[in-house]
Amino acid sequence: MEKFAQIGMLLEIYGGLLTHRQRDVMDLYYNYDLSLSEIAEQFDISRQGVHDLIKRSEQILLKADSSIGVLKLRDGILDGIRDIEQDIDKLIEELDVDHKKNSDEIKERLRLIKEKVINLGSL
């Protein structure tokens, strides 16, 4: 995952762990794509000060996710959902080709899809 996207998601999930100033600077940098100079001017601090604040804030967010793991959990759920979508699409395609497909086979495949959904709930 691209660093900007990753940090942006971590900011959304764990932003409450940061101070208001850290959160505001991170938001401007990662979500509004402001430069260090633009942020420095807005907060009346040096470019280096902004850079240091961003690096410290990144470490807080990365450490939080390393301990808690919400981002990994989210990615696992999204992968599971994509897998289920593919299973359903494949079943629909097969039914379009063979209208007389055995109902017991269809029920079994739907049961397997349902299990996948239930397993996602236990992540």
d(CA 85, CA 81): 6
What are the distances in angstroms from CA 88 to CA 37, 82, 101, 104, 108? 50, 10, 15, 16, 13
**pTM to 2 decimal places:** 0.68
Q: What is the pLDDT of residue 100?
A: 67
Read off φ and ψ for residue 109, nearest 5 degrees: -65, -40
Give yes or no for residue 84 having a pLDDT over 80. yes
Largest distance between two CA atoms of the chain = 72
Hey, what's the torsion of the CAs at 84, 86, 90, 92, to 10 degrees?
70
pLDDT digits (tens, 9 = 90+) for 93-102: 877 777 666 7
Geometric angle at alpha carbon 82, from 96 and 14, rounded to 5°: 160
| Dihedral sign for Cα atoms in the order 48, 54, 57, 62 | negative
| Other C-beta atoms lying within 10 Å of the C-beta of residue 37 | 11
Give yes or no for residue 123 having a pLDDT over 70. no
